[in-house]
Chains A and B, each alone.
Chain A
Amino acid sequence: QQPVQSPQAVILREGEDAVINCSSSKALYSVHWYRQKHGEAPVFLMILLKGGEQKGHDKISASFNEKKQQSSLYLTASQLSYSGTYFCGTEIDSGNTPLVFGKGTRLSVIA
């Protein structure tokens, strides 16, 4: 079942913050976050496996709620290079199962 991503699109000025949400009607095994730039393949950002987990690097972080049904990606002090489409990919089961992707959130950072 496809996770629901919100918002669909967001425009930010450099230095502003954004939050992208990914929700599922069922408890998930894991959530994966990717960023895709136009004409390129998605680039792995991070994976969250545990309920209540928060992780991140630099100014991009993510959380996974206790029920493991919602994840949020936090972009702080956005840079022009953050522009792209962000996808969450979810797994229901453990093991190497295919990811089900949300429809994506198009983020545009302007100067």
Chain B
Amino acid sequence: GAVVSQHPSRVICKSGTSVKIECRSLDFQATTMFWYRQFPKKSLMLMATSNEGSKATYEQGVEKDKFLINHASLTLSTLTVTSAHPEDSSFYICSAGTVSHEQYFGPGTRLTVT
């Protein structure tokens, strides 16, 4: 299967700081990547759809100024959590779609805001 990487895998930051999470498709090009958030024992919640070369599409209730998404190339999308607060602590996962419609997830980033 296709490989998607995420970095960092785990990050702890102080309240008020910003954190950038990178998502890369390693062996295929992804014009579209997706960012999800998952709380413990819950399902995955779509935050936004990241499109290469254009603005991201955010789901209702997701603040676009707080969660900045940049899809810089066909293999890289970044999510920046700005002015992080403890309630932003969560497991953030990206996925990328292949031409055969399969979607592969990155390993996830566990964010803890203190």
Interface size class of A (residues with CB under 8 A): 20 to 34
B41-49, B72-80, B82-90: which lies at the interface: B41-49
Query: In the complex, are the beta carbons of B102 and A44 less than 8 A apart?
Result: yes
Q: Which residues of B contact A42 (CB under 8 A)?
A: 44, 93, 105
Q: Which residues of B contact A87 (CB under 8 A)?
A: 43-44
Interface residue count on the B side (C-beta < 8 Å): 22
Q: Which residues of B contact A104 (CB under 8 A)?
A: 43
Q: Using a CB–CB distance below 8 Å, which chain B residues touch chain A?
A: 1, 6, 31-32, 34, 42-44, 46, 49, 93, 95, 97, 100-108
A40-B108, A41-B107, A43-B105 known; A98 vs B43 contact (CB < 8 Å):
no
Q: Using a CB–CB distance below 8 Å, which chain A residues touch chain B?
A: 30, 32, 34, 40-44, 47, 49, 87, 89, 91, 94, 96-104
Query: In the complex, are the beta carbons of A99 and B103 less than 8 A apart?
Result: yes
Of all chain B residues, the one with the shortest Cβ separation from A103 is B43
